[in-house]
Amino acid sequence: MEYQTQLLVVMISYMTLLILWGLYQGRKVKTNADYAIAGRNLPGWVAALSERATGESSWALLGLPGAAYATGLMEVWTAIGCVAGIIFAWVVLAGRLRDEAAKYKSDTFMDYIAQKHGDAGKWIRIVGSFTIVFFFFFYVGAQILGGGKTLENIFGIDRMYGMLLVVLFVVPYTIYGGFRSVTYTDVVQAIIMIITLIAAPIAGIIYLSNQPEGSLYASSISEALSKAGESYNTMAGGANLKEGSPLAGFLTNIFPDSMNMVNGFGSGIIIAGAFSWFFGYLGGQPQLTMRFMAIKNPKQAKQARNIGVIWTIIAYIGALMIGWIGIAMFGPNQLKDQETVMPEVLTTLFNPFIAGILITGVLAAIISTANSLLILSATELSENLIKPLSKSSQSSKNALLQSRIVTATLSVIALLLAYFIQGDLIYTIVGYVWAGIGGTFSIVIMFSLFWKKFHGKAALMTIISGMLFTIIWVSTGLDQIITSRILTFVVAGIIAIVSTLLIPKKVEN
């Protein structure tokens, strides 16, 4: 109880300061452009840290360490895919997207694509914004549900009340300050995250080497991976197929007389699936791309690139190491939930106060991811669906009020979704987001930036076909054989190329 009390005090203090910081930044919001994209005036360091906090949060702090704990070195492929995608985005795309947003004076993700392809801009705006808003409703709901579960696990708070607390934590400053408040509070999250991902591995290695022999499963990471067996200590060993899995059945039907072929192809498919997170980072995640578009100037874009790349490399190494340190401390398969390895390691290594700060940072990062998704959905809905249907022009003050009302309304809807829709359904739809939205819009963004022949009708067909393919592929269970994170990207790319070449581009007078 003493530990929980200290943790509760730390959490309340942390979240109170975070809310006050967000509200302070919100005072500087005067126009809809400030609310939607921080006036395209973000310093590079803010954009970089906000993008990293938004892109990782619970994934870097819970998901990746948990996967490393469960699979050992195999999870390196996932890390390589993510890091390669993030570096590509920062080095190749970020500066160009900043310049394009400034050129077209774009305030939202779909606003840029629609203005870039004016020959079908109206329908791109409607279809694309509707798709993003619809799926991100569920994405926000999933974050609220995840935060509620976390509070339930730590403090025993009823999940329903926990979800309400999550909304009360993140919504007030999001409604008030929009994108600006969200990005500046993300900075705090990113700093806590990187401190955790640096401090825990260093402290963990020291801890392992100083414990009496035999008191732990292993005294080092290398010893732990070796003792855990072949599936942990090689980058391909974890790909051994589970008997009865959809992939095993599929490959066995193709190669009925050769288990070597089955295992070989199985390893390749699983490794490709792990690496496939790469494709979602190529401009296709609107909540990340908006950070690129909001950077103040080209000089700040270079600063952001350097910070973003360095943060990513350090964070992913740290996240993997925490998972492997967990194997050395507790042994493989000893934790009921693999994604608790980070909190378990932290509480073992640090005193309650320090652990409380770091775990609260984890919790805050999880639940505050909702604000980035929420403000993106609200601005897309307000700017690209509601505003075009309004017959009369609005004053800047009224437009800002409308955006805040839309944000508040979406918050309530997301909370209701988290309450009344089954968790499995929510997380299934979240699975669509990375493949359907990430893979599809990555193709649209890259072709818009680098292929002059690519036009509006092709962009529209790519958006529609990518989303439909993902829904069909995942709904029929085929995603269990080959992940849609790869196939959606490939299918969307083929549709984009074919439609660009076969459908003539409309020449504007």
At 36-68, the pLDDT tens digits run 999 999 999 999 999 999 888 777 777 889 989
- Distance CA(159)–CA(182), nearest Å, equals 25
* Overall average pLDDT of the 285-308 stretch: 95
Tokens representing 444 are 């649209």
Domain definitions of the chain by residue range? 2-502
* Overall average pLDDT of the 360-369 stretch: 71
DSSP 394: -
Q: 79 exposed, middle or buried (CB, 10 Å; 0-12, 13-18, 19+)?
A: buried
Query: Check: CATH 1.20.1730.10 for 2-502?
Result: yes
The pLDDT-based confidence of 238 (bands split at 50, 70, 90) is: very low
The pLDDT-based confidence of 257 (bands split at 50, 70, 90) is: low
Residue 201 is predicted with a pLDDT of 96
Residue 303 is predicted with a pLDDT of 96
DSSP 219: S
Name which residue leads in pLDDT, 232 or 433: 232
Residue 44 is predicted with a pLDDT of 96
Residue 248 is predicted with a pLDDT of 55
Q: 20 exposed, middle or buried (CB, 10 Å; 0-12, 13-18, 19+)?
A: exposed
Beta carbons of 462 and 496 less than 8 angstroms apart? yes
* Overall average pLDDT of the 451-472 stretch: 94
Q: 12 exposed, middle or buried (CB, 10 Å; 0-12, 13-18, 19+)?
A: exposed
Nearest one of 273, 346, 280 to 65, comparing CA atoms:
346
Which amino acid is it at 245? S
The pLDDT-based confidence of 161 (bands split at 50, 70, 90) is: confident
List alpha helices for 117-210, DSSP H: 121-155, 159-210
How many Å from the N-terminal Cα to the C-terminal Cα in the chain?
Answer: 72
Which of the listed ranges 93-102, 327-336, 422-431 does the model predict with the highest average pLDDT? 93-102
Q: At what angle do helices 159-210 and 44-55 cross, to 10 degrees?
A: 100
Q: 18 exposed, middle or buried (CB, 10 Å; 0-12, 13-18, 19+)?
A: buried
